[in-house]
Structure 1
Amino acid sequence: MPLLLTKLILMPLVMALVTLAGRRWGNKVGGVIASMPWIAGPILLFFILEQGKDFGIRAVPGILTGVLSLVGFCLSYAWLSRRFRWWLTLPIAYVVYVLVAQVFTHIHLNLLVVYGLILVCVALALWGFPVPTNQSVPPRQLPYDLIIRMVVATLFMLTITALASLLGPTWSGILTPFPIITSILAVFSHVGQSSNGAIVSLRGIVTGLFGFTTFLFLQAFFLREFSVALSFGLALCINAVINLVAVRVW
């Protein structure tokens, strides 16, 4: 019961904070903030608390594979949003996510190689991102959007952690960075600010993946040596520093 209560409290709070930060500082900064391990971190933590630390460590390679899929999702959604509405763009981008995940589940690479590959893919994705047009669209905020975001994020958290024992560490890991916050930000930006809003938000998220990937990569080593709290705390600080640098560079 305490774990369930924690999930029910944590996820709506995280989603609300990310949404309000985006409204306060803009889509790009909001995207970078959203890329922090707000969902992947707690899901990994719940894996450890419910399935054991070894399960969490073994889930890290799968989570990193999921980051590659997340890059594919963001890039495909950004390009497709210029031509299609959200209800067609979103499922196609989800298909891209799953296809990339399927490919890399059959390719067994060293953890360090996967980490380097992700960093290269993130840099290439940023280089290949579409440029927002000069067309100005008055922002439009949907009714109850904050509540919808909070409910969806919470349901996803509950579903993934509940299925962890059935899916095993690999697919549980792959689904951990599933673009739930990313989807919510992309769709609401797309609807409220046209494709320009979605592109800027998604570019911010991809920029933040340098730090997010490093956070996950470090867990494979920190969790073996330190407590869960110290492992997460150290990696989160490193994640934040990398994000600050990445925002200035990209």
Structure 2
Amino acid sequence: MLLLKLTLVPFFLLVVSMAAVRWGPGVAGWLAGLPIVAGPILYLLVLEHGPVFGAGAAAAALSAIFASEAFNLAYAWTCRKYHYAVAAVMGLAAWFIAAFTLTSLPGSPSIALGAALLGVACAQTFLPRTQAAAKVISITRTDLVMRMISGAVLTLAVTMLSVSLGAQWSGVLSVFPLLGLILSVSSQRAYGPDFVVRLLRGMVLGRFSFAAFCLCLIWTLPGQNAEIAFLISSLASVTVQWASRQIAAAFRRAAA
């Protein structure tokens, strides 16, 4: 179990980081919308606490899309004028305010879905826009190692504290904007705010696949083997992710 906690999330962070190098910030942000951090954490929570706890955590993770977009909005607007440290503080403050608000609400799937859709709608409408061209980027070995270590630390913290935190806070913390924070700070430091805006706008498109993943978990965990439930949910997430990319490309072609 400890080996899984130390390797699952860092591996997926490695994949997304390499995608940023290969295909640029838009694709990296889109891929970051997949449950690459929360998915493994939710799986570990199910293994340790059972499917009922896992389904509750999945509902909370779904609602936490709202908190993630609060982080993105605060960071994106702040980074256009201020240092990345200020943007990070503002983004995290927005996330914690949204997270505390979410945990005070009933943990029903319908409320969770409503919060998620509201977050996506706000981000799509109010995130700043940029016409800057995508840049070819590189990632230092130190940055890559720090991202992977951060992922392992978050996984260990959430799973170790899950008993005292309960399903709702465990689910919300599984969607802590670890990847968004790391990618945003490192990208602003190296490539400037326009790159960050492209990255964060790419993340909005990926939220639909994460929502599909959480909804499938809520529906399948109570009556299925955990591995089957996560397999079905992962397939649904990838399918929605592929479809969202195709639809976005079709809209861009129509606009052109």
Alignment TM-score, normalising by the size of structure 2: 0.89
> Separation in 1 of the partners of 2:128 and 2:234?
30
After TM superposition, the structure 1 = structure 2 runs for residues 169-188 of structure 1, keeping only pairs within 5 Å, are 169-188=167-186
Q: Which residue of 1 aligns with 2:216?
A: 218
> Separation in 1 of the partners of 2:133 and 2:71?
24
Specify the code of the residue in structure 1 equivalent to 2:124.
Answer: L
Identical positions, percent: 28
> Separation in 2 of the partners of 1:120 and 1:25?
29
Q: Tell me if the contact between 2:216 and 2:233 (Cα under 8 Å) persists in the aligned partners.
A: yes
Q: Which residue of 1 aligns with 2:148?
A: 150
After TM superposition, give the deviation of residue 60 of structure 1 in Å: 2.2
Alignment TM-score, normalising by the size of structure 1: 0.91
Q: Which residue of 2 aligns with 1:189?
A: 187
Match of 1:112 among 101, 105, 110: 110
After TM superposition, the structure 1 = structure 2 runs for residues 29-178 of structure 1, keeping only pairs within 5 Å, are 29-108=27-106, 110-132=108-130, 134=132, 141-142=139-140, 144-178=142-176
Which ranges in structure 2 are unaligned for 5 or more consecutive residues? 249-256
Q: Deviations over 1:105-148 (max 9, x none)?
A: 22326412431442243033112211125499885755611111
Q: Deviations over 1:47-92 (max 9, x none)?
A: 1111222211122232223221011111111111111111111111
Q: Which residue of 2 aligns with 1:12?
A: 10
> Separation in 1 of the partners of 2:239 and 2:30?
12
Shift in alpha-carbon separation, 1:187–1:50, aligned structure 2, 3 A: same
Q: Deviations over 1:207-229 (max 9, x none)?
A: 10111012112211111222111
Q: Tell me if the contact between 1:142 and 1:192 (Cα under 8 Å) persists in the aligned partners.
A: no
> Separation in 2 of the partners of 1:226 and 1:109?
21
Shift in alpha-carbon separation, 1:144–1:173, aligned structure 2, 3 A: same
Shift in alpha-carbon separation, 1:84–1:140, aligned structure 2, 3 A: farther
Shift in alpha-carbon separation, 1:18–1:135, aligned structure 2, 3 A: closer
RMSD: 2.0
Q: Deviations over 1:142-180 (max 9, x none)?
A: 561111111111111111111111111111111110001
